[in-house]
Amino acid sequence: MAETATIARMADLVSQEIFSAFGWQRRPHKDQNWKCVVKAHKKTTHPSDVVFSYDSPLESGKVYLNTDLKSYAEKTITKDKLEEALTSLSMSAECANQSQEWQERYADPDSNFRVNGLLFIYNHDGEFHRNFPKLLSMVKQSLLKVKSAYRLYVFGPPEITYLYTVANDILKKRGKKELPEAEHCKFYHPDLVRHRVTSNTLEAATAEMLLAPWQVLKYEATPATDNRAGYVVYYREPAASVDELKFFIDYLFRFQLVAETVRIEIRAPFAHTNATAFFATAKEQYAKEYFEFPEFKKRLEQITFHAITMVQTQFSTVELGMD
């Protein structure tokens, strides 16, 4: 039992390390049960392993994430367990939006809010990554009965490995004085076709943003950045072709992130071995195809690409147990 509890604690520690780097707030109560108020659930209580929150750029108010933390070995991550966890999570998210007990315990009474569900699946033996998306796609959506009033998010082993690497890189760059402190950095949220954001820059990255192909961190001009503003863009894709990277460069221009005095550093943990060469070619071809103005080329020169090393979490159950 003690070892099981220690393994379960791994997911708690990893989630805290990841989401603190992305501006999420962690509510003080954890590992709590609260009474179910929806008769159709046929439940006595629902669980909240931990609850995170952040300000939403798409609406006025906060988003709360009622989070189910799982720490599984490779062989124990199955479709049935995913379906069971997501079914339970969908009910707890629906109930939390109606439960006065949940809201009194976790929510800010002076703000508008919505409660979503987050399933966080940490693979503690580090062996299960490639097959997880396929396994998730096999889950029967009809079991979940998710309503439009809330959403469910799944952060599985691939997402956790990627986000842990990004969070670690952000902290490392701050430690090396290559990025200013958090109060001088914000995450960039573009206006979407169907949704206009209340602000393009916020202190927290949304769950949607963390599941997107890239995340954009905007920083102010400070002595740590030679008094120049800029962006660090974390790129989840493999950067495996020139066309892929030309498309991404076009995104940077389309949303007007590129300027002559603004640096843009792209950092890619999953980069192809030839990604740096592909990116150089993509810049050259993009300049020839779209612009030949010297000012445009100067802007392109401010964009750099770097492959970064993937970081794996590694815990000792003995050391955690001693803590």
Over residues 253-300, the pLDDT tens digits come to 888 888 777 899 999 999 999 999 999 999 999 988 876 666 777 888
pTM: 0.90
Nearest alpha carbon to residue 198 among 32, 2, 55, 18: 55
**Predicted pLDDT of residue 74:** 76
Q: Which two tokens stand for residue 101?
A: 């007990």
Count the Cβ atoms, other than its own, within 10 Å of residue 233: 22
Nearest alpha carbon to residue 279 among 257, 254, 300: 300
Segments in the chain below pLDDT 70: 1-8, 58-60, 126-130, 191-199, 291-294, 313-323
**Predicted pLDDT of residue 209:** 92
Domain ranges of the chain: 2-161, 171-307
Count the Cβ atoms, other than its own, within 10 Å of residue 128: 20
Sign of CA dihedral 65, 71, 75, 80: negative
**Predicted pLDDT of residue 9:** 80
**Predicted pLDDT of residue 180:** 93
Q: How many CA atoms lie within 13 A of 177 on its CB side?
A: 5
